[in-house]
Amino acid sequence: MKKKLKVGFWEFIAGLILRNRILISIGIVLLTVFLSLQWKNVGMTYNEANLLPKNHKANKEYTQFLNTFGEEGNLVVIGIKNPRLFTPKVYKAWEEMMNRLKSNSEVELVVSLNDLKKLHKNDTLEQFELIPLVDPKRTLDPEYLKEIKRQLFHDLPFYEGLLFNKKTGSIRSAIYIKKDVVNSPIRKDFIIHKLVPAIETFERTTKIDLKVSGMPYIRTINTENMKGEIGLFIGAALFITSLIFFLFFRSHRATFISICILIVGVMWSFGTLGLFHYKITILTAIIPPLIIVIGITNCIFLINKYQQEINTHHNQAKALQRVISKIGVSTLMTNLTTAIGFATFMITGNELLYEFGLVTSINVITVYLLTLLVVPIVYSFMPLPKEKHLSHLNKNYLSSLLNWVEHLVRYKRNLIYSIYGILLVFSIVGLTQMKVSGSLIGEMPKSASFFKDILFFEKEFNGVMPLEIMINTKHKKGVFKASTIRKMDELQQTIDSLPELSKPVSIVNLVKYSKQAFYNGNPEYYSLPDSQEQAFVLSYGKGLGKGKSKDNLMKSYVDKTGQYARITTFMKDIGTEEMAKIEQKLQAKIDILFPKERYEVTLTGKALVFQKGTSYLVNNLIESLIFAILLIAGLMAYMFRSWKMIFASVVTNILPLCITSGLMGYFGIPLKPSTILVFSIAFGISVDNAIQFMAKYRHDLIQNNGKIKKSVISALHETGISTFYTSIVLIFGFAIFTLSSFGGTIALGGLISVTLTFAMFANLVVLPALVLTTERWSGKQDVLDIQDEPSTTIYRDYSEEKDV
């Protein structure tokens, strides 16, 4: 009864589609128009991706830091390493560039050589004053500029590591963008239309190459690169999939129909993003080409089945009905497994992955429904395919391939299992060598000019990734206590001893500079004042915490109450493992210096939040992969009601994941957010072919009165061609992502292609062999003699379905 109901349902769906083809076509057009109107809500993201949930401890600590000291990621640095800077012509160009940037409303503060301030002791007023280092009226004098250079590098240790490198002679300027601008579209306009042109003007005038970095600049250029790659991926995906499709089917008509379906699918994917008001991120940017690559497989299954039916009986009505009623149900299940693979990202607790998983899983199902409706409807208006369009069904190389696979499955199962076991051992050994890693700039385009600039700042100033230490003294003005200052200085000495970190900056530096200024600027006195000097030095510093914000040296490092202080350093791109070691070293020192009953010290900053986010995401993505496997196994249990079928399907498709993991270990590819995504996606896609085979095998087992071998071989020949076609298209389709300039996208595309390559051979060879073996476990006897000749007819109809 249940079987009749199921068959009747899909026959009813087939009749419904074919009888209402005009109405359905109008509905598709209207839905496409509606979703196209949602494109206006799609835009590029201007916020940095947060890998942690909002309620995570590290996120809460970072938010508290931002609430106390404001946005830390608003700094753009411009570096130069050329002695010609201290010549009148070049210095003039530098000064003009900085003044031009300073005049922009988006800029809060510019700290540069041309308007650098130095502390001066005013004995008359008995206080320190901030006076300009450079007299702009004398900058045309080469000798004066040489003296300024000498003063900067020898007399102002306060700025060493912050604005210059004494050993190499490199100098940088700091441009602070307003905090209400840094995460808005205005930032992009400033970077692209004001900052970059100003830098280019300087470079043309002086013939000196400047280095530019900082998170606002990197994020903006990254976004522009990402925007350019969306069109590249869509074009490349359409071209490669349609080309392979045409080479297989040799039909312009079938190829054109498929391209039209895929283009509408892309339009729907952008419309879905707009409907949810989601922005385009590094992940959502790859959804449209993903839909092309995944959607073409539906076209292959349905069009291939239609041509098989026409090749058998030349009855169009019967063929269209069978396309919907027979392939419709199996492709529904395969698309559900693919959608599940993406949907599991929604349980990671990460907003970026939630949006990616939700939109992709929805569009996988919608493009399936689109294909299921459009293919039969369009072909119902067309004449029967010609013989030349069906010639691919009897290609000699496909016949030879499937006959060879059949021979292996029949007679060489022990060889298959031996190879399987060797590959499994090989994979486990490689898996033990895999490492978890990730970095803020590790996924960025290595060929981009700004990446080379990042390396420059890493070499000259020990990095651009901020690491912050926030100290809560639990009392107002507790920061200014001599004991607190000494503890902070000892912690800074520890930071300074770590080669991965830059020279730290805090109120301690200003206190040391104050003592130097008290002794008339003698750099030998750049140190903390002792107990006898403290009263005199600090009495002169009473005016430093007041005045305009731009001249207030303490404003960025001590809050208004004097209760909170920060120590800022920058970190090289060292990866999460080394970063964790540094965090442990710093935390150990903090625990010694700052008793928890008197101080509350927090390690935070973008670099640390990213490191914790990477570890958190990898752990959660592993859980989501396990969840995906269990969920898909549950779906297959509902479909087949046989533990042997589930066992054979899951074991077959876990092997490719193991092989890919092993290869990652051997080649030193770390486990990080971009590479862990591979496994859930690849498993959800690769198991599709197993479902197609199992569905056909179960059907043929009934038709063949329980003859196991005959059913396995017929299912192999029936689904083998589609498995081969779809696998090739998917392998090359995902390979287009290796055209990206982003390391994460390259890894995603390349590793999925490798996984699907192994999955193709596993589903063609290992799966049929396992089915034969597991059926023997149950004690079933096969009527088919093992000495029967291998099948020579690839496409046969084993069903007794009625005509429409």
- In degrees, rounded to 5, the angle at the alpha carbon of residue 545 between the alpha carbons of residues 497 and 592 is 35
Q: Residue 628's pLDDT is what?
A: 80
The answer to whether the beta carbons of residues 208 and 92 sit under 8 Å apart is no
Look at 422 and 385; give whichever has higher pLDDT: 422
Assign 786 a pLDDT band (cuts: 50, 70, 90). very low
Which one of 149-163, 572-586, 733-747 scores highest in mean pLDDT? 149-163
Which one of 100-104, 279-283, 665-669, 707-711 scores highest in mean pLDDT? 100-104
Going by C-alpha positions, the residue among 635, 717, 586 that lies closest to residue 329 is 635
According to DSSP, residue 504 is labeled: P
Q: Residue 393's pLDDT is what?
A: 63
* Tally of CB atoms within 10 A around 423: 17
- As a dihedral over the C-alpha atoms of residue 365, residue 369, residue 370, residue 373, rounded to 10 degrees, the angle is 170
Percent of the chain with pLDDT over 70: 91
* Tally of CB atoms within 10 A around 234: 21
Supply 740's token pair: 């990206």
Q: Residue 709's pLDDT is what?
A: 86
End-to-end CA distance of the chain: 21
Look at 16 and 671; give whichever has higher pLDDT: 16
* Tally of CB atoms within 10 A around 18: 17
Average pLDDT of every residue of the chain: 84
Q: Picking from 137-146, 261-270, 345-354, which range would have the lowest pLDDT averaged per residue?
A: 345-354
Q: Report, as an integer, the average pLDDT of 738-746.
A: 83
Q: Report, as an integer, the average pLDDT of 79-87.
A: 93
**Does the pLDDT at position 5 exceed 70?**
no
Assign 487 a pLDDT band (cuts: 50, 70, 90). very high
Q: Report, as an integer, the average pLDDT of 564-578.
A: 84
Supply 616's token pair: 């958190």
What predicted TM-score, i.e. pTM, was given to this entire model? 0.78
**Residue 602, helix vs strand vs coil:** strand
Q: Residue 551's pLDDT is what?
A: 47
Look at 708 and 589; give whichever has higher pLDDT: 589
Q: Residue 796's pLDDT is what?
A: 36
Going by C-alpha positions, the residue among 335, 375, 368 that lies closest to residue 254 is 375
State phi, psi for 211 to the nearest 5 degrees.
Answer: -110, 135
Q: Report, as an integer, the average pLDDT of 759-764.
A: 89
Q: Picking from 247-256, 417-426, 583-592, 642-651, which range would have the lowest pLDDT averaged per residue?
A: 642-651
Edge-to-edge strand ranges of the sheet holding 564-571: 564-571, 465-472, 600-604
Burial of 238 (0-12, 13-18, 19+ CB in 10 A): buried
The answer to whether the beta carbons of residues 705 and 475 sit under 8 Å apart is no
Q: Picking from 65-69, 401-405, 437-441, 721-725, which range would have the lowest pLDDT averaged per residue?
A: 437-441
Angstrom distance (rounded) from CA 188 to CA 215? 12
User: pLDDT tens across 614-648, in order?
Assistant: 778 777 777 778 888 888 888 778 777 778 788 88
User: pLDDT tens across 365-374, in order?
Assistant: 999 999 999 9
Supply 615's token pair: 């570890």
Residues 6+ apart with CB under 8 A from 640: 646, 694, 698
Assign 543 a pLDDT band (cuts: 50, 70, 90). low
The answer to whether the beta carbons of residues 693 and 767 sit under 8 Å apart is yes
Q: Residue 148's pLDDT is what?
A: 93
Burial of 749 (0-12, 13-18, 19+ CB in 10 A): buried
Going by C-alpha positions, the residue among 443, 625, 597 that lies closest to residue 48 is 443
According to DSSP, residue 801 is labeled: P
State phi, psi for 796 to the nearest 5 degrees.
Answer: -130, 150
Look at 650 and 802; give whichever has higher pLDDT: 650
Strand partners for 177: 107
In a 13 Å sphere around the CA of 296, the CA atoms on its Cβ side amount to 33
**Does the pLDDT at position 299 exceed 70?**
yes
Look at 268 and 556; give whichever has higher pLDDT: 268
Q: Residue 777's pLDDT is what?
A: 59
**Does the pLDDT at position 42 exceed 80?**
yes
**Does the pLDDT at position 45 exceed 80?**
no
Q: Report, as an integer, the average pLDDT of 766-793.
A: 58
Q: Residue 804's pLDDT is what?
A: 31
Q: Picking from 304-308, 386-390, 752-756, 767-771, which range would have the lowest pLDDT averaged per residue?
A: 386-390
User: pLDDT tens across 275-285, in order?
Assistant: 999 988 878 88
One-letter amino acid of 97: M
Assign 47 a pLDDT band (cuts: 50, 70, 90). low
Q: Residue 778's pLDDT is what?
A: 55
User: pLDDT tens across 168-226, in order?
Assistant: 999 999 898 988 888 888 898 999 999 999 999 999 999 999 999 888 888 888 888 88
CA 624 to chain centroid: 16
**Residue 180, helix vs strand vs coil:** coil
Assign 549 a pLDDT band (cuts: 50, 70, 90). very low
Supply 332's token pair: 């529904």
**Does the pLDDT at position 756 exceed 50?**
yes
- As a dihedral over the C-alpha atoms of residue 750, residue 353, residue 276, residue 230, rounded to 10 degrees, the angle is -20
CA 796 to chain centroid: 45
**Residue 104, helix vs strand vs coil:** coil
Assign 478 a pLDDT band (cuts: 50, 70, 90). very high
According to DSSP, residue 191 is labeled: I
Q: Residue 495's pLDDT is what?
A: 93
In a 13 Å sphere around the CA of 86, the CA atoms on its Cβ side amount to 19
Q: Residue 619's pLDDT is what?
A: 77
**Does the pLDDT at position 666 exceed 80?**
yes
Q: Residue 685's pLDDT is what?
A: 83
